[in-house]
Amino acid sequence: MKKRIRFVLLAMLFIILLPLYSSAEEDRSDGQSVTAASDEAPTGGPDETMQEEGGMVDPLEPWNRAMFTFNDRLYFWVMKPTAKLYSFFVPEWGRIRVRNAVNNVAFPVRFANSILQLRFHAAVAELGRFIVNSTAGIGGMFEIVKANPDVGTGNKDMGQTLGRYGIPDGFYIIWPFLGPSCFRDSVGMAGDYFLTPENYITPIQDSLALEGYEQVNDTSLKIGDYEDFKESAVEPYVAMRNAYYQYRKSKVEGGEYTGPLYQEKDRQ
């Protein structure tokens, strides 16, 4: 359901948001120019400081704050209770097997983006990893061959690929159900949609049911992470925007993100 909703939302809102992209980049440039010309420390709030340091501009802040609240309540009122009930019946061992299999099926996204990023060594490694895990790992449930950051295997997406070619992130946006993103990564979501095999399952009800199940399973393995993030943040909205910016920046630069919220638990 997550990917299906993503595609529909993007199709509906891109036409409205597109004009903001250029203005956001102008705001970023202006902010950076002011910073370079001034020797004084920034005196504004967290939002102004972030823009001056080159972070994501946030012209849609009223919308984003409303969607932040919506997603926050969705998590605590719906996703977390459902995931906890699911965890009661399915042990962690089984839920990790499901996550591994889902990750294995997403091979086309990683493989295609490795090629588009001209990381052919990583693409070959992804192919070999997929073959071994699909066979000896029983459909990917067991990760016989794990992701290797030194080789370049790991999660890759179209937003990261666009960033590698120098396309800036643009303005920050929070999507309902999907969470934080930016203009560039939202465009990348649409590209990745067509590379995801489960989106071609018919009838559509089966595809939606599968995607919904994957989301519940994934949430069940991360219960507590979001709560810890909120408790440690003075201003959760700003902290999430900062975390997302640093996470995506590290992905584009090929580094490893070690900040809060976006770390994945080790697959076993």
What does the DSSP 8-state code read for residue 79? I
CA distance 244 to 93: 29
State the burial class of residue 150 (Cβ atoms within 10 Å of its Cβ: 0-12, 13-18, 19+): exposed
Question: Tens digit of pLDDT for each residue in 204-218?
Answer: 888 888 988 999 999
Q: CA-CA distance, 8 to 14, in Å (whole number)?
A: 10
Question: Token pair for residue 196?
Answer: 């995801």
Look at residues 111, 108, 118 and name the one whose alpha carbon lies nearest to residue 153.
111
**pLDDT (tens digit per residue) in 167-192:** 999 999 999 999 999 999 999 998 99
Give 258 or 12, the one with higher predicted confidence. Answer: 258
Residue bearing the bigger pLDDT, 255 or 180: 180
Q: What pLDDT is attached to residue 45?
A: 38
- DSSP secondary structure, 61-78, as one string: HHHHHHHHHHHHHHIIII
pLDDT at position 32, please? 46
What was the pLDDT predicted at 147? Answer: 80
- pTM value surpassing 0.95: no
State mean pLDDT over 230-251: 93
Summarize pLDDT for 16-62 with one digit per residue, the tens: 455 454 444 454 444 444 333 334 433 333 343 444 345 789 999 99
- Name the pLDDT band for 258 (thresholds 50, 70, 90): low
Looking from the CA of 70 toward its CB, the CA atoms found within 13 Å total: 13
Which of 241, 222, 236, 228 shows the shortest CA–CA distance to 181?
241
What's the pLDDT at 154? 78
